Amino acid sequence: MSGLRARQKADRHRRIIEAAAELFREAGYEGAKIEAIAAQAEVSVGTIYNYYENKGDILGAIVSLEVNEVLNAGQGVVARPPANVGDALDTLIGIYIEHSLYYLSKEMWRQAMAISTQAPDSPFGQAYTALDRALTEQIGALIVRLQALGLVRQDIDGAALGELIFNNMNMMFIEFVKRDAARIAELRAAVRRQNRILVAAIAV
């Protein structure tokens, strides 16, 4: 049987996440008190801690939703990349960046990133590292795809290049979420400018 218990569990998970997402957005991460999340989700404080190790893990669950969507969207670009190295990179990175503020505010990103460095061994910390790795590998996969298409030189170390591009983009994204005034368009332009050096070096 599907089980009453299992259904209630899934339902409570959902209610907690929804309540938290709403309050995080409205009041900010610190402003959203656990008691308030519990009240909104109609569970007790203790129950929240039965589902999530700590407040950060709740945010982590929301971040994972976001990044997984982005990874899915990225697949399409890797499968059928634009026939030009610069555009291909820009398209993939564009997806990452444009999607980033859909569920999460900058403040939520800041907290999420902070927690993932602060507690790298927590469930969320590990999940976050895994998501970063997945993004890195997706960029690497794009490079390899472009090599297969004869658009990128064969002697390029695809994995190393993927890391380089992801790391740079990610640091730029961190700086982006740190400044509330920073605009997505500027971020994309800056990353494009940096990648231009690489594109010149690796294009056939």
Q: Minimum CB separation from a second copy for residue 13, in Å?
A: 26
Indicate the DSSP class of residue 203.
B
Residue closer to DNA, measured from CB, 34 or 182 = 34
The answer to whether the beta carbons of residues 58 and 122 sit under 8 Å apart is no
120 makes contact with a second copy (CB under 8 A) = yes
Taking CB under 8 A as the rule, does residue 183 contact a second copy?
Answer: no
Helix/strand/coil for 152: strand
Largest CA-CA distance found in the chain, in angstroms, rounded: 60
Which segment (47-55, 66-74, 92-100, 107-115) binds a second copy by CB under 8 A? 107-115
Q: Which of 160, 162, 170, 156 is nearest to 142 (CA)?
A: 162
**Shortest separation between residue 41's beta carbon and a second copy, angstroms:** 25
Which of DNA, a second copy, none does residue 98 bind (CB under 5 to 8 Å by kind)? none
- Specify burial of residue 30 (Cβ count, 10 A radius: 0-12, 13-18, 19+): exposed
- Asked whether the beta carbons of 104 and 63 are under 8 A apart, the reply is yes
Q: How many residues bind DNA (CB under 7 A)?
A: 25
Q: Does residue 16 interact with DNA by CB under 7 A?
A: no
Binding site for a second copy (CB under 8 A): 110-111, 113-115, 117-118, 120, 125, 129, 156-157, 160-161, 163-164, 166-168, 170-172, 174-175, 177-179, 190, 193-194, 196-198, 200-202
